[in-house]
Amino acid sequence: MELIANVLLAAGAFGAAVYCLVLSRRLSRFTQLENGMGGAIAVLSAQVDDMTRALGQAQTAAGDQTARLEGLTRRAEAAAARLDLLVARLRLRRRRQRERQREGKTENAKHDASVLSGEA
């Protein structure tokens, strides 16, 4: 009985040793930087770092452009307000000119009527 237990114990130890050897080889292939999964992880990690830097630069540039765009928008709104005032002034001038022309026509018509009636 003791002999069977020893044989089974030795077989279990041998099986565990073979299992550890297989795992060791897989792990060494996994962590190789040249062609294994470790290389892929290292490349992806470098790409993530590059993308993080690029994202930071893009955010900074976007912030700068946002501030610039806000300034331009304020200037455009101020210019639009000035244009509105100018258009309103122009319309008021035109209205006054038309009123003057009507008054002039009315006075001319009164003068013509007085000439025709012999009052002049």
Element (H, E) at 33: none
Higher-scoring residue by pLDDT: 103, 7 = 7
Q: Is the pLDDT of residue 49 over 80?
A: yes
Note the pLDDT tens digit of each residue in 50-69.
999 999 999 999 999 999 99
User: Please, what's the largest Cα pairwise distance for the chain?
Assistant: 157
Q: What is the pTM of this model?
A: 0.44
CB 30 within 8 A of CB 36: yes
Dihedral pair phi/psi, residue 33, rounded to 5°: -80, -25
- From residue 8, alpha-carbon distances to 14, 16, 111 in Å are 10, 12, 138
pLDDT in tens, 10-22: 999 999 999 999 9
Every domain of the chain and the residues it spans? 1-37, 61-115
